[in-house]
Structure 1
Amino acid sequence: MAVAEARAGPRPPGSGWWEAVPAGDTTRHSCRSPLRATALPAGILPAEPLPHPRRKAIATQTLIYWLVSCKNKYSPPVSARRITENDSQHRFDEGELVMADWVKVAGGLTAISAGSRTTVWGVNGASAIYRYTNYDANPWINIPGALSDIGAAADGTVWGVNGGNQIFQYAGDQGAANPWTSITGSLVRIDAGSRTNVWGVDSANAIYRYTNLDANPWIKIQGALSDIGAGADGTVWGVNGGNQVFRYTGDQDSSNPWKSVSGSLRRIAVGSRTNVWGVDPAGSIYRYTNNDASGANPWIKIPGTATDIAAGADGTVWHINSGAEIYRYTGDQPS
């Protein structure tokens, strides 16, 4: 029986068993001893007066637990951390912790984009730019420049916009002294599915597509969006200021280039036609089912909360939350 959900972080090395301990029981519980009566070692749990979490309904109370780790089921605790039920990056049942759908990666970002497993970029709250090293032990390398939003494609193409809505294309892999080439235009959000599939929206929610000609770089597309996602295969989705969701069909019907899709999202990310993800106004994460007619909602909810999300052409997905914490999706991998 599940007793809580917790943003507990990755399981510490060497710990083989976890147990949820209600906050009111700070002196009796240990990991799964036969009588549940082994005293906790001094210093493991702070002597902090906290209400017993079961005194109020789960739906209305933020439940407080101590997540206690042991070397095995019956050994004394070796560490503990305070967690609450409304945190939802990891879930656990009574006894053993079960890693959920996301693994935390060190760092702090406010915007993120993924073209593939090996092409992941982000920017932080100070507009610093980072590229993923593909090595979680030292995951990010700082790239010169300052951006507020970034778009990374599977073919290595990277674009960004800064706080002044100026637009830049990454040229650091071409030996340029300045890794960013300025491109004419003004955008607040940008995404790149490939070298030839780059889209953005401006401060008035107007939509633009890159022409692949820097001398006249943008063509305006009918419609109004607040966020946009472009895939490697040409797929494009967007959301507007009312959180309505749209898929681009201008290459199929120029009279109405955007098909409305049921749902309510504030952020959207597209890796390909079959890898589309979004975040709703409450921060809940959704994945497209690839079936517009799948009930009243073509989206399946994925555990976790996010402020931005990234999807790659190969199925890679990352997200960041309101605390600028970074997570990579593992829900498609064996547990």
Structure 2
Amino acid sequence: MASPALPSTGPRSTAPPAPAGPGAGPAAPPPELLTDLLTEPSAELPIVPRRRPGRYVSGGLALLAAALLVRSLAGNPAFEWPVVGTYLTAPSILRGLLLTLWLTGAVMVLGFALGTLLAVARLSDNPVLRSLSWGFVWIFRATPLLVQLLFWFNIGALYPTLSLSLPFGGELFAVKTVNLLGPVLTALVGLTLHEAAFAAEVVRSGVQSVDQGQLEAAASLGLDRGRVLRRIVLPQAMRAILPPAGNMLIGTLKGTSVISVLAVHDLLFSAQLIYNQTYRVIPLLMVATVWYVVVTSVLSVGQYYLERHFARGATRGGLPPTPWQRARALYRRTAGR
């Protein structure tokens, strides 16, 4: 009886297997080819940047338009730039500038202090405080600033006298509203209440931008609410509060020009007094414009560094270099060539 045939134990063929048929996929490359591709160093290919002719054309047109605008401003004799330089540091102009800066700083401090209280009331569980805060924000955001200033300026028509008296003790003191609210104090009250309504929404949105999970984690660790507010909520909320707060600061600086209707000697009203006497309207308006641009630029720089300070740890790879750091790096590269 013949024994069954045993499988061959000789060396196997290394030829790649033939495709199974017309419907089969492409054959896999042999292992030797894959090993060579992985082990051999790849040739260095030149990297050619993508050409963008439209970018150069649009940039050139923009520079041309900016150059034409600067030439028009510098060469137009109607601006009377020598007169602008003469009145730029006039004593009355500088006094008006100082009053504008003082009003801007006071309004921002008082407005954000009151706005923070309103935001806390909006976020509280007390329905009475929440409703009253919402009503304040609604009224003062819906009313134009000029209307509010004129209303407070004529408050004496509604309340000629302000007094404080006890139920059975008589009147403690009384003061006439005309003597109490002068033009500067009226401007301060009106601007502060108007600013507080917008600041309340800015602070509330900043606080609500913090992830709720972090507050729950802090509560699980047993941290009190004051420490959670200082260590967790405020550092993260400031990233969302600072950009709109900076816009509000610049808006308040320019919004103080509205108080010129109350005969408050701010920067714009001081310029108006001068051109009413000299009839140099355009040069004096340019004086006020130059000072507004200078102060706004300084405030923008301060806002940039504040945002950079509170952005630490929020971006991967560290903070981007400042313009001053970029300029120094460019100078070093240029000097090293």
Normalising by structure 1, report the TM-score.
0.21
The structure showing larger relative contact order (alpha-carbon pairs under 8 Å, at least 6 residues apart) is 2
Normalising by structure 2, report the TM-score.
0.21
Which protein shows a greater Rg? Answer: 2
Higher strand share: 1
Higher helix share: 2
